[in-house]
Structure 1
Amino acid sequence: MTHHRLAFGGDYNPEQWPEDVWHEDVRLMREAGVTMVSVGIFSWALLEPAPGTYDFGWLDRVIDLLHENGIAVDLGTPTVAPPKWFYTAHPDALPVTADGNRLHFGSRGAICHSNQAYRAAAARITEQLARRYGTHEAVALWHVHNEYGVPVSACYCESCAAHFRRWLTATYETVDHVNHAWGTAFWGQRYASFEEIDPPRTTPTVGNPAQQLDYKRFADATLRENFLRERDILHRLAPGIPVTTNFMTALSQCDSIDYWAWGREVDLVTNDHYLITDGRRTHVNLAMAADLTRSVAGGAPWLLLEHSTSGVNWQPRNPAKAPGQMARNSLSHVARGSEGAMFFQWRQSRRGAEKFHSSMVPHGGTDTKVWREVCELGAALVDLAPVKDTRTVADAAVLWDWHSWWAQNLPWRPSEDHDARERADTFYEALYDRHLTVDFAHPEADLSAYPLVVVPALYLATEAAALNVREYVANGGTLVVSYFSGIVDEHDAVHEGPYPGAFRDVLGLTVEEFSPLPAGESVRLGAPDGSELTGDVWTEFVVPRGAEPVWTYEDGLAAGRPAITRHTYGEGTAWYVSTRLSAAGLDPVLAAAAADARIAPRPELPRDVELVTRTGETGTYLFAINHTGDEAKVPLPAPGTELLTGRPATGVLPVPAGAVRVVRLEA
């Protein structure tokens, strides 16, 4: 992005309003301090009302009006919503489910991404936009498509079948290699040629899990092919303007995209985040999503491109945000690396499926809590401009891999109660409650910068990942691994030898057998020092092979066996947790591991008070975010200046209930 302020604004859909409203919009944008808006994301039917007939007049006027008022444009390619005339001409571009049902027009994202007519039409509209606006001074960012993988990530039509066969040929070269990777000797599934292979459509009972896993890879790669085609057009015709597409890294919101792969292809990582109001601590999931997004960006600057000013409209219950919560949500993203805070959307719609989704300008207008808080947030982001281009400092890493998640979610695993995402959430929550800032890392990434690495759920682990983890611990790192990790390779084939396969050497143990618990049952764990823990969902028959038992099962089928172990491996240590513990139950385990990692204890802080640091050429900035209803006292490591109030800060920083304070620390 070319401007030097933190980004502030939202999706702007002027086509939903008469032109006389546009001037009022721009006046209010300036009043609120808006720096950038996203335009044109769902406008294909207006920009190309008939095949090959283009109407850019209204978009010209909008972009010029924004530019005249100093507001930058994130310009969308509208390829998430092809016009009705396109589907009338190409009904085969509508996606087909695994059951063979073709979906219909009337929503968004109803696309077969293997369809050649769609690909050609998407390239044409993208080229038209790039030629017209590629040199316009207002355009600071290109926004390709919208939320790839939502709501349709995979299609099972004949076009996809042919495309899948081509992908398999490029990936495996021979059908014999496919047969080996998929284990097609099981249930007599062997293929004589690539032409015999179909997508994993609905079968009488469970289908081939390796085939299903590869189809997820294929579907993700197909979406990415289409992004790259549009990106390359924009790079060619609008050089110098970064290209992005909005991710949805929150693990509960999109499970079909390998964001490690996508993060390498965008010029700027951007993310959409919406609170899941299911009774859990929503700010913890928000922090996790922000940390994951920053990690996908390789620690580089990224941008929160969408979140909500208040309630959303697509959950069973959609509560409003409490006073001050919008600022806390926004600034928590900034603390964790975002270069601003953008929303969906600018003006609340009067029609359509999202008319009850909150916005920057609500139905109630400017005499509302939401609008007043929008203006306050705009002013705060001006004060926080010095943090731009600084980087968030992490204390530990969590290993995460979307391919492993896909594989673990396939049918017929030892317990349906074991959920990889739940384990990631819970381990993250335990680290959060210890006031540790987390990077996420691919299992094959360089881990040497982290004193502590946590593996909450890595069912699928490649040989390269196993070697990487062993070298990390041997060189002095501290590792914590949760159960049912390291079990299979990249083809969902069980690693040869005893469980836990890829990790048994570094953990210094084997597992004779999994012993998942019946629903509602739990087990007690005890330690020599008298401490007790409670596990549920899962137990294992663990056999130490050099590891030291720390907690032992007190009851259940595994009674008397090790439950949690510690193993010295080279210069480092590796911990293993063989049952499901709550975040509170994990705390003493992580405390012991943190001590092994020589992570100094954090200041005594109330639960739900975040401390996050960003640092760079302009200085070091400490964000203190108070999610509680009481004032918090935060000890400062050095004196400084509080950016939002301008006051000097030294010793102990008072952070009012529900407030955020940001201190530029003196060197």
Structure 2
Amino acid sequence: MTTPRASEAPDPLSRVPGDFLTRVPGLLYGGDWNPEQWPEAVWAEDAALMREAGVTMVTLGVFSWARLQPGPGQWDFGWLDRLLDLLHDHGVAADLATATASPPAWLIRAHPGILPVTADGVRLEFGSRQHYCPSSGAYRSAAVTLTRKIAERYAGHPALALWHIHNEYGDHVTECFCDESAADFRRWLRARYGTLDALNHAWGTAFWSQRYGAFEEIEPPRRAPGPGNPTQGLDWRRFCSDALLACYRAEKAVLDEVAPGTPVTTNFMSMFKPLDYWAWAAEEDVVSDDAYPDPADPRAHVEAALNYDLMRSLKRGRPWLLMEQAPSAVSWRPVNVPKPPGLQRLWSLQALARGADGIMYFQWRASVAGAEKFHSAMLPHRGTGSRGWASTVRFGAELARLARVAGSRTRAEVGILLDWESWWALELDDRPSARMRWRELLRPWYAALYARGVTVDFVRPGAGGVELGAYRVLLAPNLYLLRGEDAGALDAYTRGGGHLVCGPFSSVVDEHDHVHPGGAPGPLREVLGVAVDEWWPVADGESWEVGLSGGAASAFASASGAASASASATLWSEWLCLEGADVVAAYGSGPLRGVPAVTRRARGAGAAWYVGCHLGERIGDVLELALEGAGVRPVVAGVPDSVEVVVRGSDESSYLFVLNHGDEEVCVPLPWDGVDLLTGGAVRGEVRVAPWGAAVVCGSRESPPFRS
């Protein structure tokens, strides 16, 4: 085997890292390349076509463990040497994977304990991917060995732009209930609690005679005769996220040691419940995401916007990388609808608008065998004569025209509070209503902001006063679990002039899932000026009228132009008692008729709102009032519902993205004159955008959204 050579071709990695993802100039463009699936004669053709399409980076080696290490102590890197040299010769950089997502068959047969076990005691078999127990010492050791071999060989290769650890952690296996996982769980609990007394208190083991006399008596929450201990279930969720994170950290430690200076990522899966992405993102140099909106869903772009805002927020606004998306159809839905002409371009530009500095796909060349052979690709089965290939080439040229956008940031004045531990705790068993699910509660709040053209960030409740204070409005669609210190930060936020809007069933328990003294909303009781006397879930199929009252109704009608200031509560309601708050809306029907449903309390220079019911899409009525009171306005007002307008800005320029998700041409007024980077033409006063079309209008940094 030879050492990889440094090519005489121009080095594509020429930019000094800063706010940029890698040293590759401009916006990244490319996809997963799996050349081990093809004869070597195809490789040179692929590289030439990449150059034709404007590809700047490809992900390499994600599922190559069996090829790189065909047996114990056997290594084959010659083929990868040739591939990296080939890429560099063609001016294409590599996002080089550690290949640890799928342990090879020989390793599994040598160490069958690597295979994961379900809560029912079933051991899952080899034959798919991610077939390993996260706590397996044999797996972790083999993965670290492979990572070190790859890092030592390619750390100095001129094509290397980014390290790609593993792939989609937790996609298939988020937890394992084997004996090795049980031992790891007990170690984790010792580190968390220190003593059994502390654990027994946290878990409330006085209930149902569950007290433990030794850590060795504790097992994972395997299948049991009845309801399990909720705090054990919460700690299990924490542990499972940490166990997978430990796998990532072990590989990253090797890369940081052997190849310092090269950024490291692992690809997330949008708003993914099993993993606390706040904790994970802190360990990444670059946040990257795999996003697969459904072309059959007419509102898929709203959910995509939500996920992209999250990715941007995980590194406090730094640019991120769309690592995977489908060029057209996927292969794993019951019905896999292709993307009609223009949609792939539009949705890719949406990711750029919301902070991405790179657009990548799964995959480069369509596979002819395996589980994903019907998944679309940048180079489809038909080859260069296909519709898909023409789209690949056109969009590569457009991204080159948008290169100056790289490194700029998307600005938001509204933050949504997101805490993974609260999410996990909310959705444990034996709650007042199993219908209270975090994402279902979040979506109408986010959709209301999206419809009003208001860009949002996501933020941790414990982020701290400076970070929270960056937002005029903070929204908590649900914050079931809230620590006392985080409640104190929210109190200081409102007193300092911030506007907090808190949704139902919030601030109910502490970090141990113990109900706060005095009941909900616990440490937010003084902030919100209400007490919850009783939770009152709404039965399926029922709804109760909620009407804005008095001055709030007039203010809403003035702010929104709506003819009606009444809405319907479904899913959830609460019997609220006022303790200093004013009534904004009350129930007009049902068993809580006349009881406050929405309240507002002035707090210093700010205000705190409490929404004690689920209003669905009509939550926008309340948010309209809060946004108006805080002075939050869209960049462009009065655009059609189908139009999305987002601004990115750098030290020199502002970039207005106008995205038309509808099937009719729209005319959008501009806050500034400038140049449409997609066409090169000057625009003044307004811009016309075709159905499923877009414009990216570049103006000076002094443009209105960025003036201080």
1:280: Cα distance to partner? 5.4
**Cα deviation per residue 1:95-154 (whole Å; 9 max; x = unaligned)?**
111111111000111111111111111111111101111100001000000011111011
Q: How do residues 448-459 of structure 1 correspond to structure 2 at under 5 angstroms?
A: 448-459=469-480
Distance in 1 (CA, whole Å) between partners of 2:577 and 2:667 is 47
Amino acid at match of 1:264: A
1:364: Cα distance to partner? 2.2
Alpha carbon RMSD of aligned pairs, Å? 1.2
1:263 and 2:281 aligned: yes
- What residue number does 1:413 align with? 431
Q: Quick one: which of 232, 236, 240 aligns to 2:261? A: 240
1:348 and 2:366 aligned: yes
Equivalent position SS for 1:180: helix
1:283: Cα distance to partner? 0.3
- What residue number does 1:503 align with? 524
1:592: Cα distance to partner? 0.5
1:386–1:618 CA contact under 8 A, matched in 2: no
1:390–1:618 CA contact under 8 A, matched in 2: no
2:289–2:322 CA contact under 8 A, matched in 1: yes
1:502: Cα distance to partner? 3.2
**Cα deviation per residue 1:485-539 (whole Å; 9 max; x = unaligned)?**
1111111111111322232221111111011111111111123346211110111
- What residue number does 2:248 align with? 227
- What residue number does 1:80 align with? 101
Equivalent position SS for 1:366: helix
Between stretches 40-49 and 458-467, larger displacement belongs to: 458-467
Distance in 2 (CA, whole Å) between partners of 1:600 and 1:661 is 21
Q: TM-score, normalising length from structure 1? A: 0.98
Amino acid at match of 2:51: R
- What residue number does 1:382 align with? 400
Distance in 2 (CA, whole Å) between partners of 1:214 and 1:428 is 29
CA change 1:555–1:277 in 2 (3 A) is: farther
1:340–1:381 CA contact under 8 A, matched in 2: no
CA change 1:277–1:417 in 2 (3 A) is: farther
- What residue number does 1:514 align with? 535
Q: Quick one: which of 570, 594, 617 aligns to 2:651? A: 617
Q: Quick one: which of 634, 639, 650 aligns to 2:684? A: 650
- What residue number does 1:578 align with? 612
Amino acid at match of 2:165: V
Structure 1, unmatched stretches of 5+, are: none
1:277: Cα distance to partner? 5.6
- What residue number does 1:288 align with? 306
Q: How do residues 102-117 of structure 1 correspond to structure 2 at under 5 angstroms?
A: 102-117=123-138
Distance in 2 (CA, whole Å) between partners of 1:481 and 1:93 is 44
Between stretches 639-648 and 529-538, larger displacement belongs to: 529-538
- What residue number does 2:331 align with? 313
Structure 2, unmatched stretches of 5+, are: 1-21, 554-563, 703-708
Distance in 2 (CA, whole Å) between partners of 1:237 and 1:589 is 54
Distance in 1 (CA, whole Å) between partners of 2:289 and 2:417 is 20
1:12–1:346 CA contact under 8 A, matched in 2: yes
CA change 1:554–1:413 in 2 (3 A) is: same
2:417–2:460 CA contact under 8 A, matched in 1: yes
Equivalent position SS for 1:574: strand
1:224: Cα distance to partner? 0.9
- What residue number does 1:13 align with? 34
Distance in 2 (CA, whole Å) between partners of 1:172 and 1:619 is 51
- What residue number does 2:387 align with? 369
Q: Quick one: which of 211, 225, 228 aligns to 1:207? A: 228
- What residue number does 2:344 align with? 326
CA change 1:468–1:276 in 2 (3 A) is: farther
Equivalent position SS for 1:9: strand
2:426–2:436 CA contact under 8 A, matched in 1: no
1:240: Cα distance to partner? 1.4
- What residue number does 2:3 align with? none
1:142–1:243 CA contact under 8 A, matched in 2: yes
- What residue number does 1:552 align with? 586
Equivalent position SS for 2:383: coil
- What residue number does 2:122 align with? 101
Q: Quick one: which of 215, 218, 227 aligns to 1:197? A: 218
Equivalent position SS for 1:552: strand
Distance in 2 (CA, whole Å) between partners of 1:178 and 1:632 is 60
Q: Quick one: which of 174, 181, 185 aligns to 1:160? A: 181
Distance in 1 (CA, whole Å) between partners of 2:455 and 2:186 is 43
**Cα deviation per residue 1:521-563 (whole Å; 9 max; x = unaligned)?**
1111123346211110111111111111111101111111111
Q: TM-score, normalising length from structure 2? A: 0.92
**Cα deviation per residue 1:152-204 (whole Å; 9 max; x = unaligned)?**
01111111111111111111110111001110111110001111111111110
1:396–1:452 CA contact under 8 A, matched in 2: yes
